[in-house]
Amino acid sequence: MSSDRQGDSSKSDAGAAEAALIAARRAKTERVRARGDNPFANDVTERERGSALVPLGDVREHFGFARREDGKYDKDKVGEAHAKFRVAGRVLFLRSFGAGAFVRLRDRTGELQLYCQEPVLGDSYVRLEDLDLGDFVEAEGEAMATDKGELSINPTSIRLLTKAHRPLPTKTSFKDVEQRYRMRYVDLVANKDVGAVFQARATIVSSLRSFFDNRGFIEVETPTMGTIVGGALAKPFSTHHNALDLKLFMRIAPELYLKRLVVGGFERVYEVARCYRNEGISTRHNPEFTMLEYYQAYATYETLMDQTEEMLRFIDRQLLERMPTSAKAWSDARPFSLERFARVPMKAAVASALEHAGLPANVPELVGTADAPIKEWAKTAKAKGREIDWTNFRKGAQKCDSKGELLFAAYEYLAEPFLAKDYRTEDGTKSIPVFIIDYPFEVSPLARKKDSDPMLVDRFELFVEGREICNAFSELNDPDDQADRFRAQVDKKARGEEETMDYDEDYIRALEHGLPPTAGFGMGIDRVAMLFTQSASIRDVILFPLLRPEST
């Protein structure tokens, strides 16, 4: 039999086995209905049941006084409390033994065991035969601790709340990455650590809101669709508005709207914004993503660098406070330190990278020429542990129209991939975050030119362990300068470049009303979640990442 046929046979057998399990569970559903009970109940509130549901974690917290150093519970202390609780949760474990059964439940606050006994439950004990893993049940009874010190509820009543027709996977059977992303609702049950990642993401977002709210910022919402492309250099998604018969673009960034608000007097403004970019998918890129953008009047990009350091350390503290166990594990495993940040001009970063690679300083000027000794350079760099993408570096250099664009290309291929290797703590054990500053104006169409060097702009990007985390700059508030840069973007689009902006006439009009000296900042929430949870892929921190349709 061919391997293809074996695979088809295996899938067929698995499908038949699952169908049999589903049929058995559906039969139990009908049995529950036949005796007059609802297998999909909804009467669980205190008004309907006479007592409130108690979260499982609260039951454990109630008996903190009875918990021993080994994590087990003192049987006598728990029993003497005579505390009664009504609880509910999903069945994760179920084992019967004669006149008794252990049922382990999980809710949003944790897990707890039911120690079911036939003499206590009476006629209700037979209802345990209707339960399967994945079902939701409700139980009421007195708390107790088993001989092994396991805190439990000894229920006097138990009932099915929701029948799960499909079986839950085992801990080892649900590891296919694409299936986990596709069926996140199963992933969250089967792989307990996944839930912690998304709890951390929620904590990060709420921490950011606290950080900025406490500094006098106003949170706003701006349009996600517009008639022109603007706010960043990226290829947009397009859509169509039927009633207005308009072609619209999904926003790639909320920047230009937020700066309009600064013109209008909202001097500190931020948005947690859903954005869309019609670009490639990778471990660091998803076409639909969330970003934080904020703008602060009477500030510079240097102000924002200081604030960024404070912000990341604040998130770190909040995670440790709210999720001590998970956050400590992530913190202990991280290959970077937040104790010290480096601030490096782009030109200096390229010079340092060339030195580390043992290459001459004129590589950027020569790399695009026909006589560039690329094989020799590659051999020298490889001996220094540097695998440089010379093919794409050369292609990129040949497309550059200015020295500024060439500097940026050299940075992207020579320096950026090695930031985590070149900038380390004093003992060399961890990388440190690096602010790359002083970008060429040609690659920064919305940033303010430096007063000391008009060929550069007041801009930074922060890289942590080689990952770009945020982008910020002192804003361009000269309407004529901004208009010239918009025109340059339009010229590039006319030459066939896709990642360009349109001319935003209304934004120029806003600037002509006066934008105070302002600094602006953008940061990918998904990448920050990856950073703090040590997640390897952006899909690991997005609940429902975009996937191709499932093949049949």
208 and 314 both lie in a single domain? yes
Mean residue pLDDT across the chain:
92
DSSP state of 536: S
The set of residues, in sequence order, having a beta carbon less than 8 Å from that of 94 and lying 6+ positions away, is: 101, 102, 103, 104, 128, 131, 132, 133
Whole-number Å distance between alpha carbons of 224 and 495: 27
Q: In what order do the strands lie in the sheet with 238-241?
A: 225-226, 246-250, 238-241
Q: Tell me if 6 is assigned to some domain.
A: no
Which of 137, 162, 187 is the last residue in one of the domains?
Answer: 162
Q: Buried b vs exposed e over 243-268: b needs ≥16 C-beta within 10 Å? A: eeeeebbbbbbbbbbbbbbbbeebbb
Assess if residue 470 is contained within a domain. Answer: no
> What span, in angstroms and rounded, lies between the C-alpha atoms of 449 and 476?
7
Say what the pTM is. Answer: 0.89
Q: What is the total count of domains within the chain?
A: 3
Give per-residue pLDDT as tens, 90-104: 999 999 987 899 999
- 438 and 405 fall within a common domain: yes
What separation in angstroms does the CA of 112 have from each of 46, 275, 392, 525?
21, 40, 56, 34
CB atoms within 10 A of CB 527: 22
Residue located via tokens 């350390």: 313
Q: Are residues 29 and 125 in the same domain?
A: yes
Residue 500 lies inside a defined structural domain of this protein: no
Please identify, among 162, 180, 205, the residue that sits at the C-terminal boundary of a domain: 162
Structural tokens at position 308: 């960024």
Say yes or no: 156 and 228 in one domain. Answer: no
Same domain membership, residue 312 and residue 202: yes
Same domain for 253 and 351, yes or no, is no
Regarding whether 328 and 181 lie in a shared domain, the answer is yes
Residues in CB range of 170: below 8 A, 6 or more apart: 190
3-state helix, strand, coil in the chain (%, to 5): 45, 25, 35
151 and 185 in a single domain? The answer is no
Identify whether 348 is part of a domain: yes
Find the CATH number of the domain harbouring 108.
Answer: 2.40.50.140
pLDDT in 10s for each residue of the chain, 552 residues: 455 555 566 666 667 888 999 999 999 999 999 999 999 999 998 889 889 999 999 999 999 999 999 999 999 999 999 999 999 999 999 999 878 999 999 999 999 999 999 999 998 899 999 999 999 999 999 999 999 999 999 999 999 999 999 988 876 667 888 889 999 999 999 888 999 999 999 999 999 999 999 999 999 999 999 887 776 777 888 899 999 999 998 998 999 999 999 999 999 999 999 999 988 778 888 889 999 999 999 999 999 999 999 999 999 999 999 999 999 999 999 999 999 999 999 999 999 999 999 999 999 999 999 889 999 999 999 999 999 999 999 999 999 999 999 999 999 999 999 999 999 999 999 999 999 999 999 998 778 999 999 999 999 999 999 999 999 999 999 999 889 888 888 888 788 776 677 788 999 999 999 999 999 999 999 999 999 999 999 999 999 998 888 875
> Residue 489: inside a domain, yes or no?
no
- Virtual CA dihedral for 78, 79, 83, 87, nearest 10 degrees? 70
Q: Tell me, yes or no, whether 216 lies in a domain.
A: yes
- Considering the domain architecture, whether residues 65 and 135 belong to the same structural domain is answered as yes
Helices of type H across 323-402: 324-333, 346-357, 363-366, 374-383, 390-399
Does the residue 9 lie in any domain?
no
Q: How far apart are CA 251 and CA 245, in angstroms?
A: 18
Structural domain for 133, as ranges = 16-162
Final residue of a structural domain among 162, 192, 219: 162
23-48 pLDDT per residue, tens: 999 999 999 999 999 999 999 988 89
Residue 495 lies in a domain: no
Report how far residue 199's alpha carbon sits from residue 417's, in angstroms, rounded to the nearest whole number: 31
Helix, strand, or coil (residue 198): helix
Position 10 scores a pLDDT of 60
Identify the CATH number of the domain in which residue 512 sits: 3.30.930.10
Total Cβ atoms within 10 A of residue 225: 14
Together in a domain, 449 and 547: no
Query: CA 200 to CA 28: how far, in whole Å?
Result: 38
299 and 220 in a single domain? The answer is yes
Are 47 and 110 contained in the same domain?
yes
